[in-house]
Structure 1
Amino acid sequence: MELRRAYDQLKDSSPSLGLPSAGSKEKALEAMHTWELANRDRLTEAEVEDTHFFGFAGQSKLSQLIDFVFVSADLRAYEEADDQKATALGRILDHAVDRSQANEQLGEIDETAHLARLDVHAKVYGPVLDAVSAALSSEVSKFTTGREVVVTPTVHAPRPARTTFQVSIRDGAANTSVHRQGHGFQRALIIAALKYLADCRRPNDSMRTLCLAIEEPELFQHPPQARTFAKVLRELAATAPQGHTQVMYATHSPVFINPKGYHQIRRLCRAVGEEHPATEVWQATKEDLCRSLDGLVDKKVIKSRTEGTLGGALAEGFFAHAVVLVEGRGDEGVITGCAERLGLNLGAEGISIIEAHGKDNLMISDALFSALGVPC
């Protein structure tokens, strides 16, 4: 009613809009939508958008397109190992296990048990309650006529049975719960569960993109295990059908940075000189590199070097406050030695020294770091 009153007030106060009469909320919304489509040039941006477009839960539009899974830095695997709808285990079981047949058979068992309980109640309580009902009816008849008292047992129908599952960890001869495992293993279990979730999704989910958002996947991991995680996450997005799986993660580890995919990297840093905290987002594209190196380095060389020679050398620099690019190891040794003799700790200042292995690579690396906002 509040919406209809507001619509009628708008229609009466502004006849020039030509809004039709609307007898219901649905018709009022339809009329406004039709008007907006026909008068796009007269629309202004609203300060508050009261829509259901954003969000991944409830009736929002995005929930119909994206299956969003967020793994926070402090998430414990035992929280995701519960058989609940929103957990990783619950989603895996929902995709991989068909509970309908078992639920149907369990429902038949519950129905049979319910009928058996009714039969027991009738045999055990029936004669006694009939006598009590007759006695009470006789006493009531002394005060009023035409009515009887009936006493019967109350038999509660059983709730529909639902099979639930639990996860435990077998370590040799010991069988323990997930929350008794170390943080590293729990983190590995979460990533493994999400990978399996992406692999086992049913064909009817192909219209929804599985979007994994992981905060600091390197937490609690040994370096070899961290490298394996990084490889698994990259392959998860690369090998899935187009648009089927997306992976995003925020990391402080060079292990999880692949310079070959520099166009997929977003570098976030605190803006300097702002009165209030603000974050700057930097990114680099192949077009950016080619434009800044036009006339200096051939485009084919840029492509081959960024995919090959420059691979692992640049990753650490993306996290630095500033980068010193050198051609080879001798140059790095000179700068490092001078800093040590002067008592300067370059690492504490956020300065990284990176070997480029060649003059062309120096220019390409400089262009890439500059595009990502790293002083070079």
Structure 2
Amino acid sequence: MSPLTEPVLITRVLLAPMAMSVRLHLRRLLRSVPGIEVVGQAFDASLISTMAATAKANWVLADGHTTLLHTHDDNDSLGQLINYLIMDLPGKIPSSVAANVNIHRIVRPLDLEAEQPNGAFLKTLRQTLSSRTAVGQALPAPSDEYALPSPKFKRAVRGTQKSFFDVLAIGASTGGPDALSAVLQSIAHRIDVPIVITQHMGVGFTASLAQSIANKTKLNTCEVQDGDTLRPNCVYLAPGGRHFEIVLASGLLVGRLSDGPPECFCKPSVDVMFRSLSKIAGIRTLALVLTGMGQDGLAGSQLIKSTGGVILAQDEASSIVWGMPGAVAKAGLCDAVLPLQLIGESILKLLRQHT
């Protein structure tokens, strides 16, 4: 990689693997600072180098309570182009990392939830991140394949608060209709984000599923039509035989249907839907993988996690087939693996968080 010579004007921060509660509060604090942009989180330490390059990050923000600094070999050129900001770091930094990166340490308060945007911690963090002597050189621009969309998603506002998530995305297969009904009945009319669903079903069957969900939950439920604007507290299902993608149009989420080839032998495919959400800059996705055969949703979940989303999965005991949720859980992507009867309440708790 050949670094650019111009100084970095916007501080682009990639979050290293860390506890979910720490990540949520750090993102809240960082978003309150003009000029600082959180460009994603690596949920696997081995992905830090690639993600930092594609997102043009010039800082990696790591929590010292998390073990991660074992990811770069001696030939890794990333270390010459990026800074680490390590908070409250215990132990010794491996020499292969310390020799190649500028590492800055600050001590974060234990209670990040109580930290205010004008507090001493954020002031120190801001000064360190914006230091012209510490910023160094920028990474080269990513290829078009990895370019982030623009403009960014316009986040929904609830009163004076901004909801932490913008969409609930659900993938399901074998046993999915009953599981979907159970989850949606438990959250119906208690959330204010769109619900998008890919359930493996053939042509002609998803319309009856939409009607069944509407009858049981009293939610506005339909097979998504190409070009539909996705509205809060409404349910949109991928029609059988068509892929369901979500795009950004004039700051709003819009459903699109495509006739691409099957993925993971499935059409519609959960991976297609999840992947489309991961491409929308600024969106926060809460994804749920329910009972189903195979591993459709695994690749898409990896992408959603890499952009800061949260993944929930149904547990094995309550699943008809623990293929899809099991694949995501075994890959270490889940923020929680839950029995069916607890999923709804967990969704509500997550959606009620504020930035």
TM-score by length of 2: 0.22
Decide which structure has greater strand share. Answer: 2
Instruction: Give the structure with the higher percent helix.
Output: 1
